[in-house]
Amino acid sequence: MNKCIQLQDLGLKDYKETWDYQEELFKGIVDSKIRNRREETDEDTNNYFLFVEHPHVYTLGKSGDFSNLLLGEDELSKRGATFYKINRGGDITYHGPGQIVGYPILDLDNFFTDIHKYLRFLEEMIILTLQEYGLKAERSEGETGVWLDVGTPFARKICAMGVRASRWVTMHGFALNVNADLGYFDNIIPCGIRGKAVTSLNVELGVNHVDESEVKEKLLKHFKSLFEAEFI
């Protein structure tokens, strides 16, 4: 089993370009697995972890409800945002500057073949990272992602998640609000959940800006520990 993960930080990159790149890496892993099975070989399959920041964009998961986007095409343009219906799970979400987006493209045969466990580990990575900033983040029953003040009228989401998996290969991932412009969430019903707020790490800490490179280091530390992986 190959537990080495190739880490790539793509910086600020268009959503569609990044999606296409994810698909390319994803297909490469799947093709390797098919080839191994057909030829009865046992070559290592690759794993990747992409960090990226997107220009303003709204994405709708395959089971999502289009009515959760509260903007028309003209209004989207005025806000400098784009929209894509994509092949991950989950409903609608927003990506934009000030948000750390992570796309682990893993062959789970190298780790464990359990999608539920995979999602819980991603959530745990976020929870442990936020704990280092003095925040008590939690899961909310029946709602994927990471929240604050769960079970109170002040519940608010700080990290959204949506993944796709085929042949135990993953793509898409998580979006953690670090220095995000929360006004863009007003244009959607985030994740299709009404009546719950969205927040960002800088807001919770009461500061103008949080060092995103520091947050990434903490995320990778916890990911590495949870998945017993190595980054290269």
Instruction: Please enumerate, by residue number, every residue annotated as part of a binding site for substrate.
Output: 88-95, 160-162, 173-175
Would residue 191 show up in a list of annotated catalytic residues for this protein? yes
The one-letter amino acid code at 135 reads L
Helix (H, G, I), strand (E, B) or coil at 87: coil
Residue indicated by tokens 């992409």: 50
Q: Distance (Å, rounded) from C-alpha 172 to C-alpha 153? A: 30
Total Cβ atoms within 10 A of residue 84: 12
Beta bridge partners of 147: 138, 157
Task: Out of 191, 201, 215, 229, pick the active-site residue.
Answer: 191
The one-letter amino acid code at 232 reads I
What DSSP character marks residue 143? E
Q: Which of 89, 127, 122 is nearest to 227 (CA)?
A: 122
Report which secondary-structure segment, H or E, holds 126.
helix 115-131
Active site residues: 191
